[in-house]
Amino acid sequence: MAIENRGTTADRLVRVASPAATSVELHSMAMDGNVIRMRAVAGIDIGAGAKVALGTSGYHVMLVGLARPLSTGDKFPLTLTFEKAGSVDVSVVVEPMTAAAHGTHAQ
């Protein structure tokens, strides 16, 4: 998923929610030697006119406590909440891991 700020001021993604999971967390991921470290973050800054990609590296959305298993092709809603822009509802399509690993992003 890519988030684009088309505004003239910076904004910050501060919350993500979905009925598909008990909770949804924002995470960052980084390599520490040969170990991948994932950490929850309080928010993701998106500069004015900037685009931030969420995916298999860097920032991502972690669904915790899935209501049911998700399969390729499934769709579910996410509500993204920004400090300035407020809430934005999006629909997510589950893609195979191989597609995500090659840079394909849900829009």
pLDDT tens track for 10-64 = 999 999 999 999 999 999 998 888 998 899 999 999 999 999 999 877 899 999 9
79 domain-assigned? yes
DSSP single-letter state for residue 56: S
Tell me what pLDDT residue 102 has: 46
In the chain, how many domains are there? 1
3-state SS, one letter per residue, for 6-38: CCCCCEEEEEEECCCEEEEEEEEEEEECCEEEE
The CATH number of the domain holding residue 58 is 2.60.40.1890
Domain containing 6 equals: 2-101
Q: pLDDT confidence of 106, banded at 50, 70, 90?
A: very low
106 domain-assigned? no
